[in-house]
Structure 1
Amino acid sequence: MTEIFSEIDDELRRERLQKIWERYSAVIIGAAVLLVVAVAAWQGYAWWSAKQADEAGTAFEQAAQLATEGKHAEAEAAFTALAANAPSGYRTLARLRAAAEAAARDPKAGVPLYDAIAADGSVDAASRDLARVRAAGLLVDQASYADMLSRLEAATNDSNTYHHAARELLALSAWRSNDPTAARKWLEMIAADETTPPSMRQRAEALQALLPPAARS
């Protein structure tokens, strides 16, 4: 008797499974197909991304070699092309290198390229600050202190990656603009910062010695 009931239960289960399959087979098959397609698409994208990164790396090395050989115009063009077409990991770095190569042949040509990077909200904060400092470095001999201050003051905070360079540039700009009070402000900030690099500290001390007596700390 037990075997009969067991056979009946098995038959009922088979009937239920058959009904479920008849009702949902299209959905099950569709889901399986989508899974296979998704896996294939992901593998294809991973392969494509790796290929793009490899090609960008090779192009970057070739552009860097042009720069090493002193072919700044060619290197700038190569880095500019790379910045337009490379994966995001290379894009900002290529833009920075293109600006550097432009500045190597003509400092005035590098400034707008650095300024464009600094103003681009899609670029990471550290790279934007670096571009801001490098542009200011190209302008320090000709820009007014007010212009330099507007460019760099926000970058002088301790939390900024390039605050040491920003402070030094502002101190130098203030000194060149005959503003000893402003120069002393930045030089004292450099001196008080325990993380100031030794070489920069020495330069700051030398500049401090050039200030008129009334402006010395």
Structure 2
Amino acid sequence: MSNLFNEIDEDLRQEKLKSLWIRYRSAIFAAIITASVILIFSESYKYWANSKIEKSGVIFSQLIENIEENNYERAEINIKELLLSGTNEYQNYAMILNADLLVGQNQLKTAEDSYEEIIQNSKGLLKEIAQLKLAYLKIDASSYIEMNDMLSNLLSEENLLHLFATEVLALSAYKDGSYDLGIKHAQKIIDSKRTTTGMYDRANMMLKVFNSKK
């Protein structure tokens, strides 16, 4: 990430916006995946704490550890085990993490199908995480209006994911050439008391991109 921010001014001077766009999108999705792993683990902990002796709980813990250690081969084995014999709760967690791995393998259509299935069959935080990730994958093929509709239930300030949803809308505004709208979203992130350092840096970077296009 540090190299990304160090290079932005040079990229703007040389008008390498396409390259910058690709790297910025990657930075956002990496942040979304990291946040979702944390949130999923947090939400599942209470359930896991009441069922430590369950095989599903043990496998899920191993899955999180393998993802954190970038051991994706073992993670895929854990996911298959949970999808085959896990409880409904853990199967849902496994499905969304499996979709993330599919994105990493560039199997984007299969990943989209997985997120859509999760949205249809889940509720609460898992459904919202799947909505956010599906919206990210659909940015290039969807208009800003479509993206806003897709993420409408995540945009209230009370929602845990609303700043991530705002980042995705900023990207969509850039793609549609709606630079003033993109500036509005980026500024909202900067002004929020819940903005992390990473979000703040990304929003500032996008402001530079938007302003360079006006």
Following the alignment from structure 2 to structure 1, what is the Cα–Cα distance between the partners of residues 192 and 112?
A: 29
2:186–2:203 contact (8 Å) kept in structure 1:
yes
Q: Quick one: percent identity of the two aligned structures?
A: 21
Q: Which amino acid aligns with 2:197?
A: P
Which residue does 2:203 correspond to in 1? 204
Whether the 8 Å CA contact 1:99–1:114 is kept in 2: the answer is yes
Residue number in structure 1 paired with 2:93: 93
Alignment of 1:15-26 (within 5 A): none
Secondary structure of 2:55 counterpart: helix
Question: Residues 53-92 of structure 1 correspond to what in structure 2 (within 5 A)?
Answer: 54-60=54-60, 68-71=70-73, 75=76, 79=79, 82-83=82-83, 85-92=85-92
Point out where structure 1 has 5 or more consecutive residues left out of the alignment. 1-48
Distance 2:124 2:193 in 1: 24
1:37 alignment partner in structure 2: none
- The separation in 1 between residues aligned to 2:186 and 2:145, in whole angstroms, is 17
Count of paired positions: 162
Once the two structures are superposed, what CA deviation does each residue of 1:184-217 show, in whole Å capped at 9, x if it has no partner? 23122212212111221121122112224796xx
Cα distance change, pair 199–60 in 1 and its aligned pair in 2 (3 A): closer
1:114 equivalent in structure 2:
115
Q: Tell me which residue corresponds to 1:192.
A: 191
For the aligned residue pairs, the C-alpha RMSD in angstroms reads: 3.0
Which amino acid in the other structure matches residue 83 of structure 2? Answer: A
Q: Secondary structure at the match of 2:157?
A: coil
Q: Considering only CA atoms, is the larger Rg found in Structure 1 or Structure 2?
A: 1
Q: TM-score, normalised by structure 1?
A: 0.62
| Higher RCO (CA-CA < 8 Å; seq separation 6+) | 2
Contact 2:51–2:57 (8 Å) recurs in 1: no
- Could you list the per-position Cα deviations for residues 36-90 of structure 1 after superposition, in whole angstroms to 9, with x for gaps in the alignment? xxxxxxxxxxxxx959x52213444566687644439x81x75255235322441
Aligned 1:130-209 pairs, distance under 5 A: 130-209=129-208
Change (3 A) 1:50 1:66: closer
Alignment partners' CA distance in 2, 1:115 and 1:147: 16
Query: Can you list the C-alpha shifts for 1:104-146, whole angstroms capped at 9, x where unaligned?
Result: 22122211211221232xx341111111111222333443323
1:157 is displaced (CA, Å) by: 1.0
Q: Give matches, 1:4-19, under 5 Å.
A: none
Distance 2:179 2:103 in 1: 30
**Aligned letter for 2:57?**
G
Give, in angstroms, the shift of residue 181 of structure 1.
2.9
